């Protein structure tokens, strides 16, 4: 019967061996045999209606995971109430539909980043549905539809941001007129008007930021 000390040494040896196997397979460096192709999406959690919503998708793949592709690969994403099985069957505005650059090289691990922008067309919480597909036959290599990020298209944000946009445009018009006016009386009047508008712009910007939260371009 083995001594207790010998049993502990055997267990410790097994742990060391397991760690060595993980290290040699690349698991400690972030590889994942269960998800050989991965999509990482960066997008703001809130958005304005009918205004640009930027998206960044990082594609990474283990060596050989994309070797069977027979046409250029495209990263595609839509903003939808619910994701479909493919990009084509998913309803909603397109956020990105771009050919990856560079394309994967046979036998090598792969990383690429693609950026795009789309305009939300309805209010409410919506899902970002992303797909990595082969151009032409739409053969799918990866998707992010199981636990994808969501975006809340906010009406208060849209209204407050539109008010800010309008105030800023009026202020800029007054400034242009002021630069091109030589009459003293008119310059005085426009200067006072610009000062009032500047305060309105600052107040509307503060209100819009509060309504929209971080990540929304103003």
- Give me the domain span that covers residue 199: 156-212
**Are 39 and 109 in a shared domain?**
yes
Strand order in the sheet with 110-118: 37-43, 53-61, 110-118
Paired tokens of 25? 């397979």
Q: What is residue 23's predicted lDDT score, i.e. its pLDDT?
A: 28
Tell me the pLDDT of the chain (218 aa) as tens digits.
444 444 433 333 333 223 232 222 222 223 344 789 999 999 999 999 999 999 999 999 999 999 999 999 999 999 999 999 999 999 999 999 999 999 999 999 999 999 999 999 999 999 999 999 999 999 999 999 888 999 999 999 999 999 999 999 999 999 999 999 999 999 999 999 999 999 999 999 999 999 998 889 88
How many angstroms separate the Cα of 171 from the Cα of each of 20, 160, 204, 212?
66, 17, 12, 22
- Whether the model clears a pTM of 0.85, i.e. scores above it, the answer is no
Helix (H) or strand (E) holding 37, with range, is strand 37-43
- 146 and 83 co-located in one domain: yes
Same domain, 201 and 106: no
Find the CATH number of the domain harbouring 133: 2.60.40.10
Sign, Cα dihedral of 182, 186, 188, 191: negative
What pLDDT does 9 receive?
Answer: 37
125: three-class secondary structure by DSSP: strand
Q: Are residues 202 and 97 in the same domain?
A: no
Task: Please check whether residue 217 lies inside any domain of the structure.
Answer: no
Among candidate residues 137, 153, 169, the one where a domain is terminated: 153
Residue 113 near residue 100, CB atoms below 8 Å: no
Tell me, yes or no, whether 175 and 148 share the same domain: no
Instruction: Verify that 161 and 147 share a domain, yes or no.
Output: no
How far apart (Å, rounded) are the C-alpha atoms in residues 32 and 38?
A: 9
Instruction: Give the end of a domain, one of 153, 187, 204.
Output: 153
Task: Find the helix packing angle between 155-180 and 184-212, rounded to 10°.
Answer: 160
Could you tell me which residues are beta bridge partners of residue 134? 73
Domain count of the chain? 2
Same domain, 134 and 176: no
Last residue of a domain, one of 106, 128, 153: 153
- For the chain, give me the number of helices (H) and strands (E)? 3, 9
């Amino acid at each position: 019967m083995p001594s207790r000390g010998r049993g502990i040494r055997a267990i410790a040896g097994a742990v060391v061996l397991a760690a060595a196997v993980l290290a040699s397979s690349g698991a400690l460096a972030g590889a994942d045999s269960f998800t050989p192709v991965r999509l990482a999406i960066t997008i703001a959690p809130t958005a304005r209606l009918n205004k640009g919503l930027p998206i960044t998708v990082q594609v990474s793949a283990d060596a050989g995971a994309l070797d069977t592709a027979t046409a250029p690969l495209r990263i595609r994403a839509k903003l939808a109430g619910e994701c479909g099985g493919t990009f084509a069957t998913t309803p909603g505005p397109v956020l990105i539909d771009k050919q990856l650059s560079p394309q994967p090289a046979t036998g090598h691990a792969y990383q690429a980043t693609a950026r795009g922008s789309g305009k939300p067309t309805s209010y409410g919480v919506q899902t970002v549905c992303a797909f990595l597909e082969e151009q032409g036959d739409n053969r799918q290599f990866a998707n992010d539809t199981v636990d994808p990020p969501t975006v809340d298209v906010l009406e208060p944000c849209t209204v407050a941001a539109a008010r800010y946009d309008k105030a800023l445009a009026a202020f800029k018009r007054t400034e242009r007129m002021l630069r091109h006016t030589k009459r003293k009386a008119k310059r005085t009047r426009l200067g006072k008007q610009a000062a009032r508008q500047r305060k309105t712009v600052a107040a509307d910007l503060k209100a819009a930021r509060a309504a929209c939260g971080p990540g929304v371009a103003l």
